[in-house]
Amino acid sequence: MNSNVETTSIRTSGQPKAKSMSKGKSKLISVLPPLAAFIIFVGGWELLVRLLQIPHYLLPTPTAIVTAAVENAANLTTAVSVTILEAVIGFTLSVIGGVAAAILMASSKWVEKSLYPYAVILQTIPVVAIAPIIVIWFGSGMNSIVIITFLIGFFPMLSNTLIGLNATDKDMLNLMKLYKASKMKVMWRVRVPYALPYITAGLKISCTLAVIGAIVGEYIAGIGGGSGGIGYAITVSAARMETAYLFACGIAASLLGIVFFLLINMFSKWVLGSWHESELNNKD
């Protein structure tokens, strides 16, 4: 009898280890294909440029790009830090403004019908067209860049949040009416929690647009010297035909957008991971 108990306990204790090992193998298998594709792509790029003897100012090799990034590490680090600051401020303002405007519009159909068309019009106007006006009003530098970043990231937050607030379950709303709950309680206790998946979807879109907005703003309203961001660094390197450093700046901008997205994705899992199907299914 005791031997049976011991064998069953050994089996049950071994099951978590087996599951963890299988998960580790599955993760390794999922990482290998993109890693192999990356190695093949970079190796083929390096080999092709060297065999065809393509001039470095037209297409630099990956090793030349890495060398340029290392040689200009101080300038690149400063540029990335400036762009991060601009993107974070603009993104934060777009989140606050977009969610607040969506709650205001969802509170009244008349307000939504009156203001939402103007939000759509604002989104359809190219930022490049209104950027010079922003520079005239607020001057070149941080203020104008943050405003441009805000304008680019504002509409995705407004649109996604408004869709989520308007998609609240009708039975829940009727139940709250039955209990004679105020509009404020219905908004904060039912509609906003129900809209959280839509809000996190808007965050994932807006966070990457914030990086793009900051770089576009630096093209138009950026200042040089030690206060220049990635957009300014790209402009200078393009003017000097420093193609390797130009590629390094572009890759840095791409990595910055990826980091922003991963952070928001972690936040989404933290907010929705315990109850929403979109994140519960990813855990399996």
Tell me, what CATH number does 271's domain have? 1.10.3720.10
Residue 284 scores a pLDDT above 80: no
Give residue 148's pLDDT band: very low, low, confident or very high (50, 70, 90): very high
> Do 3 and 99 sit in the same domain of this protein?
no
At a CB cut-off of 8 Å and minimum separation 6, what does 143 contact?
none
Predicted structure pTM score? 0.84
> Do 127 and 214 sit in the same domain of this protein?
yes
Q: What's the confidence (pLDDT) of residue 10?
A: 47
CA dist., res. 242 & res. 262, Å (int)? 30
Q: Give per-residue pLDDT as tens, 73-89.
A: 999 999 999 999 999 99
> Do 21 and 158 sit in the same domain of this protein?
no
237-259 mean pLDDT = 93
> Do 16 and 88 sit in the same domain of this protein?
no
> Do 111 and 19 sit in the same domain of this protein?
no
Last residue of a domain, one of 34, 53, 72: 53
> Do 9 and 92 sit in the same domain of this protein?
no
Q: What's the confidence (pLDDT) of residue 80?
A: 93
CA dist., res. 60 & res. 128, Å (int)? 30
Q: What's the confidence (pLDDT) of residue 23?
A: 63
> Do 26 and 113 sit in the same domain of this protein?
no
Residue 66 scores a pLDDT above 60: yes
> Do 15 and 97 sit in the same domain of this protein?
no
Q: How many domains is the chain partitioned into structurally?
A: 2
33-43 mean pLDDT = 90
Q: Is 274 helix (H, G, I), strand (E, B) or coil?
A: coil
Q: Is 195 helix (H, G, I), strand (E, B) or coil?
A: coil
Q: What's the confidence (pLDDT) of residue 42?
A: 92
> Do 49 and 69 sit in the same domain of this protein?
no
> Do 15 and 131 sit in the same domain of this protein?
no
> Do 44 and 154 sit in the same domain of this protein?
no
Last residue of a domain, one of 32, 53, 74: 53
Residue 20 scores a pLDDT above 80: no
Q: Give per-residue pLDDT as tens, 185-234.
A: 899 889 999 999 999 999 999 999 999 999 988 888 776 555 688 998 99
Give residue 35's pLDDT band: very low, low, confident or very high (50, 70, 90): confident
> Do 88 and 36 sit in the same domain of this protein?
no
CA dist., res. 111 & res. 122, Å (int)? 17
Which domain does 256 fall in, by range?
A: 62-283
Q: What is the SS3 string spanning the chain?
A: CHHHHHHHHHHHHHHHHHHHHHHHHHHHHHHHHHHHHHHHHHHHHHHHHHHHCCCCCCCCCHHHHHHHHHHCHHHHHHHHHHHHHHHHHHHHHHHHHHHHHHHHHHHCHHHHHHHHHHHHHHHHCCHHHHHHHHHHHHCCCHHHHHHHHHHHHHHHHHHHHHHHHHCCCHHHHHHHHHCCCCHHHHHHHHHHHHCHHHHHHHHHHHHHHHHHHHHHHHHHHCCCHHHCCHHHHHHHHHHCCCHHHHHHHHHHHHHHHHHHHHHHHHHHHHHHCCCCHHHHHHHC
87-110 mean pLDDT = 94
